[in-house]
Amino acid sequence: MRTTTFTRAAAAAVTGLLLLPLSVAPAAAESGDGGLKLTFLGRYTTGTVAAGASEITAYDAATRRVFVVNAQAGTVDVLDIRDPRKPRKVATLATPGANSVAVRRGLVAVAQQAEVKTDRGTVAFFDARSGRKLKQVTVGALPDMLTFTPDGKRVVVANEGEPSSYCEGEVADPEGSVSVVDLRHWTVRTAGFTKFDAERLRAKGVRITGPGATAARDLEPEYVTIEGDTAYVTLQENNALAIVDLDRASVRDVVPLGLKDWSKTGFDASDKDGKIDIRPRPVKGMYQPDAIAHFRDHGRTYLVTANEGDGRDWDCHADEVRVKDLNLALPDAANLKKDTELGRLNVAADSPKDASGAYTELRAFGARSISVRSTSGALVWDSGDQLERLVAKELPDAFNADNEEDDSFDSRSDNKGPEPEGVTVGEVRGRTYAFAGLERVGGIVAYDLANPRAPRLAGYVNTRDFTGSIEDGTAGDVGPEGVLFVPAGDSPTHRPLLVVGNEVSGTTAVYEIR
């Protein structure tokens, strides 16, 4: 067992486990002023690397079991964490095509894509204690994430409807949708996007890029958070948010999430300059969040997003291009196209152009940040360049490293940087925190949300061992995907836990928070 706190002294003493106190003094880290103490308790290792063997996690308090999507095996692995220092697998659920899992009051729900991913998928239900399959219902194409409503009466499913081809004569692009499963009657109603017009959405700022695609086919639901009878659904590739009325199973609105102006903050844009170089750039970032969560403060609901970014690369259609390959109508264009400047940066092919076809603006994928938004989608706060500066300070030799390569310093600077992907919120000693996983370099970052307009970075933990080998499975926890918060009242240690599925290392890590 390795124990540490958000202190630099502890970080230096523990190989592969680094934590950041920021301005919080070590003595204050346990005083309840927003600092955290976090203990790495244990991990379960599948032994399978770089194959999605540990992705999304869910927890059943009654049985002290964690349910982990093992996409490589087509199962949900069931882990007993009554002793979280020694998680052990006690069962598997047969769930071919599993993408997501959720648990509520002993009922396990698993989203399963069809063998042909553009066909309609299913949600399978199991008893958490016995593992017996209870029911299966049909939902939309490529169910990517699902969650229970707070009252436990419904399951809401984000059906991504991802395409597989845009080739002439063989376009395979199903409609994205959100399914609402009524658990009292085992009925399914699906909210689609057919009432939305692609051109009108584009005019609002929603990104619609599939060749000749309708809005319904182009919009791709990714992740869901629910308050009351409303679901807030990220549309990652579209840089937008869908607001869904669950009682009516109807999409109320699709709202754009806007652009981040990197000329006012900064990021590292080159993987070929051999250094850390975070500075303002003439680039706009599309937020394109993956995971979303919510919290309440002074009677208001706020959304928290992990702004990973994602481009499309399908048969006969790709929307990622490098700046050096473009005709730029920008000041100092020749210099910008150098590999050590913006030349290597991946940007969207649909970035704005002038009448001659020259690019007048560069839009990169993702915002390399965590954001807080209102329930209307309006930006309340963004972490700016904090995540890259955090990694630069705490892991300078692994800055913007990749999650599938050892010794990969700076290799992701041209493509979304640390890639914040999973996010969750939870209460510790009466304060609300957001916890987000950095998919590439690894680790979990914590933000104190006491002031939604100015969240405070509360710490960073990374249990990746950079002296080990990813390929040999000796690199610890690599590629955090699902981040799960377990409240103190449901925890076997009677203290809050974080359970993190790491898709590259195939490990499930358990941390205790104080």
User: What residues contact 413, with CB distance under 8 A and at least 6 apart?
Assistant: 267, 268, 269, 270, 271, 399, 400
Tell me the per-residue pLDDT of 326-373, one tens digit each, with 9 for 90 and over.
Answer: 999 999 999 999 999 999 999 999 999 999 999 999 999 999 999 999
Number of domains making up the chain: 1
Query: Is the separation of the CB atoms in 57 and 33 below 8 Å?
Result: no
pLDDT score, position 6: 33
What is the pLDDT, as a whole number, of residue 11? 33
Sequence-ordered list of residues with C-beta below 8 angstroms from that of 325, at least 6 positions apart, any chain: none
Which domain does 8 fall in, by range?
A: 2-513
* Spatial separation of the C-alpha atoms in residues 167 and 164, rounded to whole Å: 9
- pTM, 2 dp: 0.93
Contact predicate 156/224, CB 8 Å? yes
Please state, in angstroms and as integers, the Cα–Cα distance from residue 508 to each residue in 56, 74, 266, following that order. 9, 17, 33
Note the pLDDT of residue 35: 77
Tell me the chain's radius of gyration from C-alpha atoms: 22
Q: Provide the pLDDT for residue 413.
A: 98
Widest CA span in the chain: 66
How far is the C-alpha of 400 from the C-alpha of 443, rounded, in Å? 12
Residues of the chain with pLDDT under 70: 1-34
Q: What is the pLDDT of residue 505?
A: 98
Q: Within 13 Å, how many C-alpha atoms sit on residue 57's CB side?
A: 32
Which domain CATH number covers 496? 2.130.10.10
Distance CA 475, CA 265 (A): 33
